[in-house]
Structure 1
């Protein structure tokens, strides 16, 4: 049970006497909502888990400063806690820079990590004294030379894990052999200051060896830049770090590969090592609970598309969140959320089922051909690890509201951050 309420910014946080149990807490909230016939979906945010993820990062990669990728989830409580822990921030737009700086974060803790920036956004970054920026093309250098003479540019190279959930090298990054050395020469000729190399192996990395390859290219390019007179002080390892404990390429394995590669290519380095984790921090703390607003029995063949299943029973369920809301991660992040009944049920037989979102669009499909026990209208489904690329892109299409976040943390964790959380 919640023992007290505190404020982080303008947001109320429930403080518990012991460590948060996300499933148990979601059940408690759902029961309270049932008593007042409130069936709106909600997002439980376990703030303890943010701190635990930060501690894991510092244990496995203590030499690398995390700069949280704001695009992943712009929740202000998440940002304030990460700021209080000492994180920097990876921003990709004027709005993201403003979101972070309005929480009290200084400009030197921000990297404007978008290689193709709007001119007015560059001018805004100069006004805010945000200097660290990425580039991967000559045209960007020309813009920077005119609009932000104080900029400290970081050359982004294209090194990608082709098996990543979201490969990024098709849109961003200069070829590290064919094009990157030439860009360093152009920067020198234009009088633009280059301070390092960055890369992003792809969001949701599956092949840790991509980091080693990228660091090898970074070493070679640092030597070329230093030969031109640049102080190549920063290596930015981008993102790609998993946000869920059950990921098929554990964070600890990726961290081990990075440590080994740093020992090989940058032994005893004095360079500043940074990275841009997003889902690593954002995914796990957020659990979504949605209500079944409608249920209907159909022939199983309607779901399986197999006429031989026409004699079997299937069910279609409609919940009050979908791909235009929190489940936009299905479309934009190639995610495959898996839900389960929030409460234990005394029904054992499972049926082929489909979970639909609430809108009138047939694209609004959350889970298909799912084996699940029969559920009833008014019952709840629980979806863990729903903080990455979910709320950040959620809409109110068709008039359906976004789930309300509810924040909880333990007394122990509250005591550890309360004096530094800009309350």
Structure 2
């Protein structure tokens, strides 16, 4: 069922993700326009993630990292829930301000900023921003001398899938010099910022970063600064699987470490991105093409495969292997494979007219490649998959696709960006969404 629309005039249903998917894919004609790939965004999942955060890290204020996914409904829901926002550019700041967010709820958390963007932030009274080098201090002094600064420090990000320390973060050997320089420039440094790397998989990385931050707090106190803000960055897992690296596992050690190290008068914020966005988005893609491949063929017949990969394919006497082509790919929503090092898992949504969301098929599975729709051979989503044999008109779906997907999608080869359909699986927030957004 469709619910009332909001300020953006976008409908929000109260259906489950499964029901939304089913309503969209049950069509016998795989050539019609309605069979474009599409996202289903469950706004109820975003709300549940927010409650989960407040339960396990109640002291830490989330400032959502807009770069992760700038979907307007996601941003408006988070704004209505009272989160802050981590912005990296003029456009991101403007998007958040346009929603009526107070400038004090924004941190310009890019340590190296374009001069005109700093001036823009000053004009909009977005005061909080980060730095990690002396040239940035001179730039800020010239363009926004009343800014409220956080010194971003280098941490051990060796236990993260995406390491950021090579680009950003002042080492503890340099923080004293930078703070002394800020004092001489009469700049207002109010705290410390750090980031343990994206997709961090060791809770001890946060503990080590807390210790480093405390060291810099002490340095600042000796120089006469009155630090009152700690920004613990991002990197948080969204997983709730008991056999995985969960948010609860991090919070169980991070929360006490903060309380033991910093008194209650120190404000603590964080910059979660994928934590909120990833689990809320599911993408459905249409099988638009298919090829059958076998091992005993010429190597150059199979693009992007070396001889070992070809030899790994079944022979003509064994089960076949297949190539499937779907209508979204690496240049679109699956750019997360290239830019975010994600491993995506295709699942069968519809096969032969049967809707199969969440089901395990009692059928043989075959080796397969899943390709995107563009003419570039780099556009491969899965190179070592195993799926039941599919046919033109069938559908695949991929879960946990909200992080660093939509935000970096392109229109390469003229393919349009994938549409988002909104629902909420939490009835308690439906009226709130429609009234508040």
Alignment TM class, shorter chain as reference: over 0.9
Show the counterpart of 1:409. 424
CA contact 2:43–2:280 (8 Å) conserved in 1: yes
C-alpha distance in structure 1 between counterparts of 2:239 and 2:361, whole Å: 29
1:158-184 Cα distance to aligned partner (Å, 9 max, x none): 113312111111100001x21112111
Give the structure 2 partner of residue 74 of structure 1. Answer: 70
Aligned to 1:193: 188
- Residue 247 of structure 2 corresponds to 251
Q: 1:376 to 1:348 in 2, by over 3 A?
A: same
Corresponding residue for 2:210?
215
The Cα shift of 1:61 comes to 0.4
SS for the counterpart of 1:386 is coil
In 2, distance between residues paired with 1:377 and 1:160? 48
Contact 1:155 1:198 in 2 (8 A): yes
Match of residue 340 from structure 1: 347
SS of equivalent to 2:424? strand
Report the counterpart of residue 42 of structure 1 in structure 2: 38
Of 382-391 and 247-256, deviating more is 247-256
2:376 matched to which residue of 1? 361
Residue-by-residue CA offset, 1:302-321 (whole Å, 9 max, x unaligned):
56321673333100000000
Change in Cα spacing, 1:265 to 1:360, as seen in structure 2 (3 Å) is same
SS in structure 1 of the partner of residue 162 of structure 2: coil
| Match in the other structure for 2:10 | 12
Q: Does 1:236 align with 2:252?
A: no
**Pairwise CA RMSD of aligned residues?**
1.8
Gaps of 5+ in 2: 297-301, 351-355
Match of 2:258 among 252, 258, 262: 262
Q: CA deviation at 1:323?
A: 0.2
Structure 2 CA distance for partners of 1:118 and 1:346, relative to 1, 3 Å: closer
TM-score, normalised on structure 2?
0.91
Alignment of 1:304-343 (within 5 A): 304-306=309-311, 309-311=314-316, 312=318, 313-343=320-350
Q: After TM superposition, give the deviation of residue 10 of structure 1 in Å.
A: 1.4
Q: TM-score, normalising length from structure 1?
A: 0.94
- Do the aligned partners of residues 228 and 201 (structure 1) sit closer, same or farther apart at CA in structure 2, a change above 3 Å counting? same
Whether contact under 8 Å (1:13, 1:409) holds in the other structure is: no
SS of the equivalent of 1:283 reads helix
Q: 1:97 to 1:406 in 2, by over 3 A?
A: same
Answer yes or no: is 1:420 the counterpart of 2:436. yes
The farther-off stretch of 329-338 and 160-169 is: 160-169
Distance between the aligned counterparts of 1:252 and 1:350, measured in 2?
35
C-alpha displacement of 1:24: 3.6
- Equivalence for 2:268: 273
Whole-Å separation in 1 of the counterparts to 2:59 and 2:391: 51
Instruction: Deviation per CA, 1:222-273: give whole Å up to 9, x if none.
Output: 121122221201000000011333483100011111112113212x421110
Write out per-residue CA displacement over residues 283-312 of structure 1, whole angstroms, 9 at most, x where no aligned residue. 011100000000111115656321673333
> What count of residue pairs does the alignment treat as equivalent?
414
Alpha-carbon distance in structure 2 between the residues aligned to 1:148 and 1:259: 34
Secondary structure of the corresponding residue to residue 342 of structure 2: coil
Distance 1:207 1:154 in 2: 25
- 2:299 alignment counterpart: none
Confirm whether residue 65 of structure 1 aligns to residue 44 of structure 2: no
Give the aligned partner of residue 174 of structure 1. 170
- The alpha-carbon distance between structure 1 residues 111 and 214, as it changes in their structure 2 partners (threshold 3 A), is same
State the partner residue of 2:20. 25
Provide Cα deviations, 1:192-221, integer angstroms capped at 9, x if missing partner: 110000100001110110111111111121
8 Å Cα contact 1:9/1:77 also seen in 2: no
Matched, 1:119 2:124: no
Residue 293 of structure 1 corresponds to 288
Matched position secondary structure for 1:284: helix
